[in-house]
Structure 1
Amino acid sequence: MSLRASERIELRRLRAAADDGRQRRRRQPEYQVGPRVFPRRILRDRAKLWTIPQLVQLLSSDDIAKRFEATSEFRKLLSIEPNPAIEEVISCGAVPCFVQLLDREECPQLQFESAWALSSIVSRKSKNTKVVVDHGAVPIFVNLLSSPIENISELALRALGNIAGESAIYRDIVLAHGVLFPLLQLLNEHPRTTLLRNATWALRNLCRGRPQPNFEHVKAALPVLRQLINSQDEEVLGDACWALSYLSDSSNDSHKIQYVIDAGACPRLAELLTHSSSSVLIPALRVVGNIVTGNDEQTQAVINRIVIGPLVHLMQTAKFDIQREAARAISNVTSGGKHDQIKYLVSQGCIKAFCDLLSYVDTEILTVCLESLENILKAGEAENDAGACDVNIYAQMIDEAEGLDKIENLQTHENNTIYEMAVHLLESYYIEEDDVEAMPVGGDAPQNSVHNGNQQAGEFNFG
């Protein structure tokens, strides 16, 4: 039984989300102490003047200088690569002390060292993040986003970004503590490049994950994201586009898509479809693909920005990952588009592009192409039934683009779904009813590979 268009789009959306979920979420502090806080120091090896138990004692001292020295030494232990002493530091009970020291506004050096230490801890394993969250660090880090010392606010950003990127549960905890407003305020202040990158990356993590965040809690980020996609920095551009892709991932809820359109993102997204970097191009394509899953008017908003031609060009010329994203985007238009919208897609060369991709062995892209061609053929049948023409002109165009030969060959594909889709297209659009009745009925999908030319019962050949 074939899936409805909305179900197929949802499956593609979940697969795309899984792909993104495998990307690296964590950032480790790569920080150098700025001269406005205190002079640079060189990290020492594990051969310490202090043992960890001694440092724990110093952390509890009433002497602020001793507490600072202990925190600084702990931070160095946590910064030694490739094996920072995170487990040892957590086991000795230092984390709650670090969290308390984050609140010492009268001593920014202590805040800085504590923030650095905690940021190092949450940049590693999930269980380490839990320790920091459970000791109440999140609301204090949120407050530190407004610190007048930029180095401290940047470390708070790294910590919050790593915590939010750990899971949807931690992401919602960070959002519940009011992180969005001070974060957006930081971004509006046009910070230096490293802070801008960290803030955009943290914002991306606040928008990602499944289940998705409550849209009401994150929609205020859209105007700022609209500005960020104008950045000339590739890293900022990529993270901003990913954030937009999460916010436009509507699961058939078109009001989210409308917010993205109303924010004015479409014109710039159209420009980014010609960007040279895949780290920008892939998330930009994902946003476009999400928008065209909306209603007819929202799909038309994308078409009006003249993005179909560039999408087809990417399908024909780009690397595989980008071809796949472009194919997904155009396929989403065919799944729910009006006949005149599909007619416009055809005029931009999408039939040839889909037919060319039928030579690939990747099952996912073959599925996308076959689904898209069927949607186009259905539109052609509707025009035929309406008396607009005597034959399905789109079926002829697929044949002329050598698509028919490739669909025939897919009858020998080892994947059962691909086999069934190919047979269905041939039966539905290329075989006369009398011929179908005369054909022997095929059984299970063939087990031979796609390169096996032996024709089986139930296969069709129009050569």
Structure 2
Amino acid sequence: MKNSQKLSGNQKIQQIYNHEEMLEQEEMSKQLKDQLSLILNTSNEQITVKEALEAIKSENLLETHKALIQLRKTLSVLLFQQFNKNFDQAEIFTNELVPLLFYLIQYGSTYIIKLEATQIISIFAGGKSDISRIIFENGILQLALTILQNDNPELSILIMVILGKLAGESIQYRDCILQACDLETIIRKMELKYEATYVWCLANMCIGRPSPKFQLIRPAFNIFMKVIMYEPTPINIKMMNDAIWALGYMLDGEPTRINILIEQGIIKRLMELMHQCNFVSILRIFECIFQGNQEQIRYLLECGFLSQIRNILDPKSREKSGNMIQTFAATETLFKVLSNQNFLISLFRSLSDENSEIRGDALEMIGNAVQHGTNEDVNQMVKNKLIQSVLGMLELAWEREIPSHHLKKGLEILIRILRKGEIRSKDRQNNQYFTVFMQIDAKDVIQKLLSFKQDDVAKYAYIFKQEFTL
């Protein structure tokens, strides 16, 4: 799975439990607890996989604790980079170490040993693909099922991190995990203090193409909708971004799933969050909606989609939208939405909409797109009947009340289209848009507008006539 299609697990390898608290719960002698406490506080030297393996094999309880703690700290400090670079030399030891760690997770003599061994596996997972393969082939799914059935919250969350990393690395791993693990059962075990990590893990199990079977991930779909409705605090926003990113994959343009989001108020909520949460992830959900039916597309427009995009595209607003514009400039997602044929058709239909606000936003968006877009962008819009749509709006001025500034904007768009084709009196035939105007016979509409009462409308109609008859 490409990096752009998975959620990063770098923040999920942090220590999530307190050693001293764990030590207090262990059933062992006071002397042994004191010795382990000393090891926990002094084991800061780096250690190699080979050295750790030898210490664990010695079956010395104190040496095993020390080796596991040192290895976990070593890998965490180096962020696993050094280990990845030297994997060819370390592979033979890793092949031995992983099954040994699995054994300690199941049968280790102390809970700290189980936790440290699981933490090391969680760091290994999602690193180099060969290491992930070793983890998978040594039975991580069977081990996960065993642990998730027990009441060990710290161990369970570490196992979830491992599964989340593996699912984010490969759709093959993801699908195997979903077949083996019931998400509803996992969600029931979710504790509030680990909620953000669970949401991240569930998101990684739901992303990627092709999408998983929806019945397998439906419980996560419900969790993501709940999370999106949270108060957008700094902590919650990270979790909400994971949920939004996953929903973008889960919708798949499926009308039934889109309806669920509409009914639960998620679309309106996402519109509110566009300036707070990940703009790209929200756009991917809106892109999916444009693969839905016309009622759903219409609903999105009524929620203010055009107004939001208009503000983003308007060059005048860019100074006020620093972070968002940086995101917009770094992604192709917005361009994919704007070039979506269903979106263009809906946008152009909005020109004849009875809702004046929607019509106004559509005109501003189209005007900016024509003015600042490439020739290819404009050509794409003309192919989708932009010219006919604008002329249709102008004709409506004799049937219903349309603000004069809308008529003026429509005429401005037509003039810009003509000028994009670089019309000249001597090479008119080379302007591909002039031919379109001739086929539509736009002269009648413009002639009517010349007699319009509002001076600015008549003025722009005259400008257009001059351009058209050069």
Same fold flag (TM > 0.5): yes
Mapped pair 1:349 → 2:333? no
Distance 1:389 1:18 in 2: 53
Q: Give the AA of the match of 1:349.
A: D
Deviations 1:94-147 (A, max 9, x none): 011112222238732122111111111114222221111111113423554566
Tell me the residue number matched to 1:29: 13
Cross-structure match for 1:454: none
Q: What is the CA deviation profile of residues 261-284 of structure 1, one whole-angstrom value per residue up to 9, with x for unaligned ones?
A: 3444223122213x3x4x523212
Unpaired segments of 5 or more residues in structure 1? 1-16, 413-421, 436-459
| 1:45 alignment partner AA | E
Q: Counterpart in 1 of 2:280?
A: 282
1:206 aligns with 2:200: no
Alignment match, 2:256: 255
Please give the alpha-carbon distance, in whole angstroms, between the structure 2 residues aligned to 1:257 and 1:263. 10
For the pair shown, the structure with the greater C-alpha radius of gyration is: 2
Question: Corresponding residue for 1:124?
Answer: 127
Matches within 5 A, 1:264-413: 264-273=265-274, 275=275, 277=276, 279-316=277-314, 317=317, 318=321, 319=325, 321-322=327-328, 329=337, 332-335=342-345, 339=349, 343=353, 344=355, 347-360=359-372, 367=377, 370-371=380-381, 374-380=384-390, 400-401=411-412, 404-405=415-416, 408-409=419-420
* 1:444-455 equivalence runs, <5 A: none
User: For structure 1, which segment, 166-175 or 153-162, has the greater mean C-alpha deviation from structure 2 after superposition?
Assistant: 153-162
Asked if the contact 2:174/2:205 (under 8 Å) is kept, the reply is yes
Where 2:297 maps in the other structure, the secondary structure is helix
What SS class does the counterpart of residue 292 from structure 2 fall into? coil
CA contact (8 A) 2:207 2:246 kept: yes
Q: 2:352·2:392 contact (CA, 8 Å) conserved in 1?
A: no
| Whole-angstrom CA distance in 2 between matches of 1:224 and 1:245 | 14
Separation in 2, partners of 1:249, 1:432? 37
- SS of structure 2 residue aligned to 1:103: helix
Deviation at 1:378, TM superposition (A): 4.4
Residue in structure 2 matched with residue 45 of structure 1 by the alignment: 45
Counterpart-to-counterpart distance in 2, 1:52 and 1:303: 57
1:99/1:356 Cα in 2 relative to 1: closer, same or farther (>3 Å)?
same
Change (3 A) 1:73 1:297: same
CA apart distance, 1:430: 6.4
Deviations 1:39-62 (A, max 9, x none): 65455333x5xx755643443455
Unaligned ranges ≥5, structure 2 = 24-36, 424-429, 444-466
Change in 2 beyond 3 A, CA 1:29/1:372: farther
More helix by share: 2
Question: C-alpha displacement at 1:296, in angstroms?
Answer: 1.6
Distance in 2 (alpha carbons) for counterparts of 1:267 and 1:431: 42
Q: Deviations over 1:181-206 (max 9, x none)?
A: 2442355x4x22xx333222222211
How many angstroms apart in 2 are the aligned matches of 1:131 and 1:79? 20
Aligned to 2:196: 197
**How far has the Cα of 1:409 moved from its partner?**
3.4
Distance of 1:372 and 1:65 partners within structure 2: 75
Deviation at 1:333, TM superposition (A): 3.2
Q: Pick from 185, 189, 194 the counterpart of residue 188 of structure 2.
A: 185
For the Cα contact (< 8 Å) 1:28–1:123, is it kept in 2? no
Instruction: Tell whether 2:159 aligns with 1:160.
Output: no
The AA in structure 1 aligned to 2:267 is: C
Question: Which residue number in structure 2 is paired with residue 228 of structure 1?
Answer: 227
Q: Is residue 2:435 matched to residue 1:427?
A: yes
Partner residue of 1:151? 154
How far apart, in 2, do the equivalents of 1:299 and 1:91 lie? 56
Counterpart of 1:254 in structure 2: which amino acid?
Answer: P
Name the aligned partner's letter for residue 133 of structure 1.
Answer: F
1:323-350 C-alpha deviation (Å, 9 max, x unpaired): 8756655654333579468635751322
Structure 2 contact 163–177 (Cα < 8 Å) conserved: yes
Contact 1:327 1:354 in 2 (8 A): no
Task: Give the superposition deviation at 1:369.
Answer: 8.9
Q: Do the aligned partners of residues 386 and 28 (structure 1) sit closer, same or farther apart at CA in structure 2, a change above 3 Å counting?
A: closer
Selected match of 2:177 from 174, 178, 182: 174
Does 2:92 correspond to 1:91? yes
| Range moving further from structure 2, 379-388 or 168-177 | 379-388
Pair 1:426–1:290, CA change in 2 (3 A): farther
Q: Who is 1:71 aligned against? A: 68
Retained in 2: the 8 A contact 1:98–1:118? yes
Query: Residue in 1 aligned with 2:243?
Result: 240
1:37 match: secondary structure: helix
Work out the percentage of aligned pairs sharing the same amino acid: 16
> Would the aligned equivalents of 2:50 and 2:90 in 1 still touch at CA under 8 Å?
no
SS at match of 1:212: coil
SS in 2 for 1:349: helix
- SS, match of residue 210 in structure 2: coil
